[in-house]
Amino acid sequence: MGQAEKDKLRALLDYWVKHNKEHGEEFKEWAEKAKDFGETAIHDELMQAYEEMDKTNALLLSASERLKKEE
């Protein structure tokens, strides 16, 4: 992988983490609204999606750190 590709990947990883955090917060917000509507199953699924997004971000951050170490 050339330096230009590494730079692009680094930028993408940073973008994906930020983007996922925004979506994760939306999932959490709507999970609470669903709970208020009495939709506990939807709440639980949205919270699971929120937690999975958090796991995804951990993997992306790990990849980003690994890329930085290679430099």
List the domain boundaries for the chain.
23-58
CA distances from 68 to 1, 4, 55, 61 (A): 14, 14, 20, 11
Contact 18, 68 (CB under 8 A): no
Q: Which residue, 62, 70, 69, is CA-closest to 16? A: 62
The CA-CA-CA angle for residues 57, 67, 6, to 5°, reads 105
The pLDDT value given to residue 35? 98
- Summarised one tens digit per residue, pLDDT across range 16-66 is 999 999 999 999 999 999 999 999 999 999 999 999 999 999 999 999 999
Query: pTM for the whole thing?
Result: 0.84
